[in-house]
Amino acid sequence: MPLKQETGFRAPVPAERLAELVDAPRLLHSLLEDRFPEMDGHWGWVALYARMTASRLGMGRDDVDAVERAAGLMDLGMLWMSGKVRLLRGEPGAAEREAIRRHPLEGEAALAEVRPGWEILPLVRHHHEWWDGNGYPDGIKGKAIPLGARVLCVADSFVAMLSPRFYRPPCSLDDALLEVMRSRGSQFDPEVADAFLELMEKRFGLPAQDPTEGLCPHRSRSVASERYSDGPDGLKGPEYPDLQDRIDLMELLSNFGAIRFTGGLNLLSKLLGKPGKVDVRGDQVYEMFRQGQLEAINEYCAFDVLDTYFVFLRTRVLIGALTIEAEQAIVRQTKDWLVKETRERPGLQRYLDSWGDWDPWP
């Protein structure tokens, strides 16, 4: 059945305006946030968590990009339901629930009008399907649900739990993580939920812990106990390097917490003649994210990685793993590589513009 016939699709905005919203999701988000103020910033956070979870699952670059793009457009269909639930100030009734359940179909239909056959259409349609088949709009279950949609389901639900709605207050962070844990195998694909929880634990230090059962069952031990050990379940090999291949720069540079170290990566990189913070500070990133400045944030993160790399090289010299001559040769090779990379990533030129060549033999 054609999408238009299936949904009774009637665009609430002119076709040219719809195409503009699809090309610039931030405009769509502003429009939706105006109608649903409680969802301010929702889609940016979903895109962030969904992309990181998809990457952790080992999805290909194109698939990860599709998940991120779908996260920004998955609720386009809410434009059709806004008049039906906008003024609701209580638990949704049957009519409101039906309008809510139809928004993935309306969104898919609208996107198909603009870009027929687009690879994100199934992700938009199925991002509210449940692993056990109790979701909507089609009630499919398990691996019949596209993987990208299963990723979106976890990320979308987590962000929604942390946000207030007109019929409930926000959940605490601990409660939201616990709900993801408890919904493995029912609402969420267990593999996807595990990847998400591991991401929260390893990247943000937020372990999900059930007070009645102990540590979340997706982990056999805490991150701290794995930090300087072999890989999961004692595995070794290229994917799971031994202890000698792991390092915590802060613990090394602070003598494992024995001395106070201030200035951080910014100071260390500048001491080595490298740019450090160029024109963005860490405390500015959240507001940049809210404004949709994702490319600028990517550059900020890339600069941080480069600074960390050069500081890491110096620690190798400090412990005798590298000679200073070898370190300087690697630095020169890296600079040559960065110069070439600017053809594909012009933003790296700002890093090179602030580059300083530290001379170990003045």
Reported as a single tens digit per residue, the pLDDT across 230-288 is 444 343 433 334 434 456 676 677 666 666 666 777 888 888 888 888 888 777 777 77
Distance CA 277, CA 313 (A): 19
Structure tokens at 141: 């279950």
Question: Cβ–Cβ contacts within 10 Å for residue 134, how many?
Answer: 11
Question: Which amino acid appears at position 44 of this protein?
Answer: G
The confidence score (pLDDT) of residue 134 equals 96
Instruction: Say how far apart CA 250 and CA 257 lie, in whole Å.
Output: 8
Q: Is the pLDDT of residue 350 over 70?
A: yes
Looking at residue 280, its pLDDT comes to 81
Q: Is residue 203 very low, low, confident or very high in pLDDT (cuts 50, 70, 90)?
A: low
| pLDDT number for residue 209 | 57
Chain segment 117-135, per-residue pLDDT in tens:
999 999 999 999 999 999 9
- Domain at 3-223: CATH code: 1.10.3210.10
Q: What confidence tens digit (pLDDT) does each residue in 290-336 have?
A: 777 888 888 888 888 898 889 888 888 888 888 989 999 999 999 99
Residue intervals of the chain classified under CATH 1.10.3210.10 are: 3-223
Is 146 or 170 the better-scoring residue by pLDDT? 146
Q: Is the predicted pLDDT of residue 220 greater than 70, yes or no?
A: no
* Bridge partner list, 215: 209
Indicate the pTM of the whole model.
0.58
Cα maximum dimension of the chain: 77
State residue 158's pLDDT score: 94
Q: Where are the beta strands (DSSP E) in 71-225?
A: 209-210, 214-215
Encoding tokens for residue 271? 């001491």
Q: Residue length, the chain?
A: 362
For residue range 1-55, list pLDDT tens digits in order.
444 444 444 555 656 677 777 777 777 877 777 777 777 778 888 998 999 999 9
Mean pLDDT for 196-212 is: 68
Is the predicted pLDDT of residue 184 greater than 80, yes or no? yes
Strand partners, 165: 168
Q: Classify burial at 236, counting beta carbons within 10 Å of its beta carbon; exposed 0-12, middle 13-18, buried 19 or more.
A: exposed
Bridge partners for 318 per DSSP: none
Residues 6+ apart with CB under 8 A from 167: 88, 89, 90, 91, 92
Mean pLDDT, rounded, of the chain:
78
What pLDDT is recorded for position 139? 96
Rg (CA), the chain: 24
Angle at 223 between CA 222 and CA 225, to 5 degrees: 70
Residue 2 makes CB contacts below 8 A (sequence gap 6+) with none
| Cβ(179)–Cβ(200) below 8 Å | no
